[in-house]
Amino acid sequence: MSRDNIACTLLCALAMLLFASASRAQDEYSAIELGAQYSTIRETNLNYEGANFSGFGGRFDWNLSRRMAFESQIDFFPEHGIPLPLVQGGRSLEAVFGLRAKVIQTRHISVFGLVRPGLLHFTQVEVPAGQAATYATQPATYFVLNLGGGIEYYPSPRWILRADIEGDPYRVPAYSSPAFVQAGKINDTTRLSFGVAYRPGALVEIEPEEKISGNWEFGPLFSAMSIAREGLTNNVRTEPGLGGYGSYRFYGVFYLDGDVLYFPRGTSASGPHDGGTILQGLIGVKGGIRRNHVGFFGKVRPGFQSYSDALTGVNTTTEPATYSYARSTNFALDLGGIIEFYPSERSTLRIEVGDTHLFFGTRQVNADGTIQSFPGGPLQHTIQLVVGYGWRF
């Protein structure tokens, strides 16, 4: 008997003792769920301190199966954050739409993952007003990628109690005017939600599940990575890349999983840490479930991100000025989710979504004979989408 079945049997026995009248209905689920939640979002307050702002909202789920649902959630945060240049300010509203997948499911408890792109709106971000040291505020809306997971508890067949936590990387564009220049970047914040939901309508019996075979998997990949590139362009752009992946199941629902990707587009200018083409290598663990032609996994994969032409020297004593470059390799940590579809017995359509964290070290640049140090600065975020097709053995 599997661990899930043992846990299910124990919980069933407890339910028969405490909730005898509801025991049959706990083997069923509904097509839709309607919920409300209290949420928090991490922003900078009026004292220039990081704080959790309280908000509230609603949630709608359309259950595609007992484990997989299309989910939408909207939250409003009425507290005012300090206006920061293009990053945040005023009240905020977030609307996300995507997939929720349960990787552990018992009669009364489930553990789920979330991959939900959407929009993050601020009412008063700061923007330059056209003159030096003069600013105005205006609304701004950004693309956000909501990644996380949580726990659900089912006190009765129709009611759900839920808690979840998510990371929210969002894309801030570059801004340039005669008086002000700001580089584009991928900013990040954190979300918490605590809510209750109700299942209206007819309850449907939970269908039997079939496992998906195969311990080894290989295949090609295509990637699109939104990343802030260093150098004179100072902007966020989407880099296309190609590569491959491999995956090996080493224990239960856990897989050793890795990607190698090459992004061939270069840059017109380089910085001390970043320039030229990008080579990315990641290897770590994905964990989740494969059932009924669909798989859903969380991933934690350390690795590297290497740039071919980072700036190492500048000589302005010649006409024209000359520049020297060298490879810059930096630690990377990939966090996110993987969704798989199985169109045939041995094939896999794979979609990865994640936030690849970049950790830059200190670099030395020779500027006209003087060595200058450039610290890596704060953690950098990216938003990465990867699509692949693989074969299982």
- The pLDDT tens digits of the residues spanning 119-128 come to 999 999 988 7
Q: Mention every residue, 6+ apart, whose C-beta is less than 8 A from residue 5.
A: none
Same domain, 185 and 233: no
Of the three residues 180, 205, 230, the one that is the final residue of a domain is 205
Please give the full DSSP string across 312-362, using - where no structure is assigned: EEEE-SSSS-EEEEEEEEEEEEEEEEEEEE-SSSSEEEEEEEEEEEEE---
- Where is mean pLDDT largest: 26-40, 197-211, 271-285? 271-285
If you average pLDDT over residues 370-384, what whole number do you get? Answer: 94
Q: Let me know if residue 184 belongs to a domain.
A: yes
Phi/psi of residue 19, nearest 5 degrees? -135, 55
Same domain, 292 and 241: yes
Same domain, 120 and 228: no
Q: Let me know if residue 237 belongs to a domain.
A: yes
State pTM to two decimals.
0.86
pLDDT of 276 strictly over 80:
yes
Q: What confidence score (pLDDT) does residue 130 get?
A: 66
Same domain, 43 and 141: yes
Q: Let me know if residue 364 belongs to a domain.
A: yes
If you average pLDDT over residues 189-194, what whole number do you get? Answer: 96
Same domain, 223 and 260: yes
If you average pLDDT over residues 66-75, what whole number do you get? Answer: 94
Same domain, 201 and 220: no
Q: Let me know if residue 211 belongs to a domain.
A: no
> CB count, 10 Å around CB of 18?
9
Same domain, 201 and 296: no
Same domain, 199 and 285: no
CATH number at residue 360: 2.40.160.20
Taking alpha carbons only, the member of 199, 182, 184 closest to residue 66 is 199
The total number of residues shown for the chain amounts to 393
Read off the DSSP letter of residue 55.
E
Of the three residues 185, 205, 225, the one that is the final residue of a domain is 205
Q: Let me know if residue 43 belongs to a domain.
A: yes
If you average pLDDT over residues 123-144, what whole number do you get? Answer: 85
Same domain, 288 and 377: yes
pLDDT of 10 strictly over 70:
no
Residue 177 corresponds to which tokens in the numbers above? 């005017």
Residue 87 corresponds to which tokens in the numbers above? 């990053």
In a 10 Å sphere around its CB, with 0-12 CB exposed, 13-18 middle and 19+ buried, how is residue 343 labelled?
exposed
Phi/psi of residue 142, nearest 5 degrees? -125, 150
Range of the domain at 269: 216-392
pLDDT of 309 strictly over 70:
yes
Same domain, 192 and 252: no
Intra-chain end-to-end CA distance of the chain, in Å: 25
Give CA–CA dist 186/180, Å, rounded.
19
Same domain, 187 and 244: no
How many separate domains does the chain show? 2
Least confident of 13-17, 65-69, 73-77, 86-90: 13-17
Q: Let me know if residue 210 belongs to a domain.
A: no
Q: What confidence score (pLDDT) does residue 104 get?
A: 86
Same domain, 189 and 87: yes
pLDDT of 8 strictly over 90:
no
Q: What confidence score (pLDDT) does residue 369 get?
A: 92
If you average pLDDT over residues 247-258, what whole number do you get? Answer: 95
Q: Give the pLDDT band (50/70/90) at residue 387.
A: very high
If you average pLDDT over residues 176-183, what whole number do you get? Answer: 72
Q: What confidence score (pLDDT) does residue 105 get?
A: 85
Least confident of 67-81, 136-150, 173-187, 208-222: 173-187
Of the three residues 205, 240, 266, the one that is the final residue of a domain is 205
Q: Let me know if residue 316 belongs to a domain.
A: yes
Q: Give the pLDDT band (50/70/90) at residue 20.
A: very low
Q: Let me know if residue 42 belongs to a domain.
A: yes
Residue 121 corresponds to which tokens in the numbers above? 């709106």
Residue 24 corresponds to which tokens in the numbers above? 């049959």
CA angle in degrees (0–180, nearest 5) for 235-174-189: 95
pLDDT of 385 strictly over 90:
yes
